Amino acid sequence: MTIKAMNPLASFWYTPRAEEGAPNPTRFKIRGLNGTEQGYIVPELTLDPMGRIVAGMSGRGIEMALAYGLTDWENLVNGKGTVAFGAGNFGLLDYAMRVELAMKILAASYVEAEEKKT
């Protein structure tokens, strides 16, 4: 068996569940976390004895996941118009969206079971 290195830094566009099928959806460019970044975030997860996430991630973990893994967005607007991408504007995302993005970033950080077999 060959051990496969992670490629978490490969960015991809993610359309949130609430935006799927919309004509001009808000999308977020995200990447998974490298091993060092995962080491900072894993202590912020609530895990069961088998290492499975059971209650999500702390607010601090969400902040770190977004800081490391959210690299761009498009079509994000508020009452004043288009919101420019920037860490200073992350706070404009509502809590549910922040959680969804953080969990997607975390999921993108791991090698899939099928990839491990190759």
In this structure, is residue 115 part of a structural domain? no
**Each residue's pLDDT tens digit, 62-116:** 999 999 999 999 999 999 999 999 999 999 999 999 999 999 998 888 755 444 3
> Average pLDDT over the chain, rounded to whole?
85
The pTM score is 0.82
Find where tokens 């991630």 sit.
Answer: 57
Q: For the chain, how many structural domains are there in total?
A: 1
In this structure, is residue 63 part of a structural domain? yes
3-state secondary structure of 92: helix
Residue type, 71: T
Structure tokens at 93: 């995302």
- Note down the domain range covering 86: 12-17+24-110
Q: List, in sequence order, the alpha helices (H) in the chain.
A: 35-41, 59-69, 95-107, 113-117
